[in-house]
Amino acid sequence: MSLSLTECLLATTQEPRELADYQTGVPRWCNGCGDNAILSAVQRLCRDEKLAPEKTVFVSGIGCSSRLPHYMNTYGFHGLHGRALPLAEGVKMSRPDLHVFVSTGDGDCLSIGAAHWIHALRYNMDLTVLLHDNRIYGLTKKQVSPTSPLGTKSNTTPKGSYLAPLNPLTVTLGVQNVSFVAQAVDWIPELLAEIIAAAYRHKGLSFVRIVQRCPEFQPGAFDPFVLDPKRTLILRNELTLSAALAKVYTNQREHDASSIDRAREIASIEDPIPVGILFRDETVPCYEDLRHAGQPHTPELVRRGLEAELDKFTVWPGAPGPAA
């Protein structure tokens, strides 16, 4: 039986793939850097969901964490510091058919990119946003970030930082139109992968804060949590906990992710670290759907729009001149 060209192309994009199909390059991160665990989790997700590499885009700003697109054998855009979210929104707006992921650091997203963060939540475009939160500027070699704990000594605060840290979860949960908020930690890879997968499946902007270790500039910062499983609070709702994990992480709580008040309460807990899906609302509309209303943004449409705009300034031969 012969297949048409379209059928052949569809068959290619639906082929089962291996992890290696999504891997490229050798990550330049330090040994023990939590970014490695995040990279593995997204590569697993791409394989499990059989995402076609040519239909998948990883967008980032600037920072160690923002190097992630280099190691994905998909499309990618290593952007400008703080601008990962508007870049990703632009991609999604013109190509809503693509799977768009964002990797952004705590400096990139919560400091220089803070205005974009708030408005991206409000626009609720269908993006999977991974906040790699190591509580420090890594790439530029140790300056405080908005999530650095009070008293953090760094190159910009040699006597210790003066301000209490910003909580990215409570701020996110305070923004109009927020539709998905979760938290993961890099040292429980099974749950990290499951939470990122749930975020990917959510239609709308899914915001996942990942507590990420930076052994270079925050050495041992999370050791007390890693070494004492009781200091992790597992939120029981849609996550499946393997028997082995359930035995280790016994501090568990049933949580109704449809309640924003309960989500805000949990988001403000810092010790133990809550892990799981805090909030989900599937009813919030996505900006790209409101704007496109089913009309794809084709190159032809863009060309016609541009020509119509330029025609406004064209002086046609024989046309009456401006009134004197």
Ligand X SMILES: Cc1ncc(C[n+]2csc(CCOP(=O)(O)OP(=O)(O)O)c2C)c(N)n1
Residues contributing to the site for ligand SF4 (CB under 6 A): 29-30, 33, 35, 64, 134, 138, 214-217
Q: Which does 29 bind (CB under 5 to 8 A by kind): ligand SF4, ligand X, none?
A: ligand SF4
**Shortest spacing between CB 211 and ligand X, in angstroms:** 13
Q: x/- site string to ligand X, residues 27 to 66, per CB under 6 A?
A: -----------------------------------xxxx-
According to DSSP, the β-strands at 99-105 and 56-60 are parallel
**Closer by beta carbon to ligand X, 117 or else 287:** 117
**Shortest spacing between CB 226 and ligand SF4, in angstroms:** 15
Tell me which H or E stretch contains 6.
helix 5-13
**Shortest spacing between CB 59 and ligand X, in angstroms:** 14
**Closer by beta carbon to ligand SF4, 172 or else 218:** 218
Using CB under 6 A as the binding rule, whether residue 69 contacts ligand X is answered as no
- For residue 228, what are the contacts with CB-CB under 8 A and spacing of at least 6? none
Using CB under 6 A as the binding rule, whether residue 106 contacts ligand X is answered as yes
Residue 253 burial (C-beta neighbours within 10 Å; 0-12, 13-18, 19+): middle
Q: Which does 215 bind (CB under 5 to 8 A by kind): ligand SF4, ligand X, none?
A: ligand SF4
**Closer by beta carbon to ligand SF4, 161 or else 218:** 218
132 within 8 A of 34, measured Cβ to Cβ = yes
d(CA 65, CA 63): 5
* Helices (H) then strands (E): counts for the chain: 12, 9
d(CA 56, CA 41): 15
**Closer by beta carbon to ligand X, 62 or else 257:** 62
Tokens of 74: 């998909």
d(CA 4, CA 190): 41
Using CB under 6 A as the binding rule, whether residue 152 contacts ligand X is answered as no
**Closer by beta carbon to ligand X, 53 or else 149:** 149
Residue 166 burial (C-beta neighbours within 10 Å; 0-12, 13-18, 19+): middle
Among 323, 211, 321, 318, CA closest to 272 = 211
**Shortest spacing between CB 110 and ligand X, in angstroms:** 8
**Closer by beta carbon to ligand X, 64 or else 191:** 64
Q: Which does 216 bind (CB under 5 to 8 A by kind): ligand SF4, ligand X, none?
A: ligand SF4
Residue 81 CA: distances (Å) to CA of 47, 112, 155, 314:
29, 7, 19, 39
**Shortest spacing between CB 77 and ligand SF4, in angstroms:** 20
**Shortest spacing between CB 41 and ligand SF4, in angstroms:** 16
Q: Which does 130 bind (CB under 5 to 8 A by kind): ligand SF4, ligand X, none?
A: none
> 248 in helix, strand or coil?
helix
Q: x/- site string to ligand X, residues 107 to 146, per CB under 6 A?
A: xx---x-------------------x-x-xxxxx----x-
Using CB under 6 A as the binding rule, whether residue 105 contacts ligand X is answered as yes
Among 208, 204, 206, CA closest to 124 = 204
Residues near ligand X (CB under 6 A) are: 62-65, 81, 105-108, 112, 132, 134, 136-140, 145
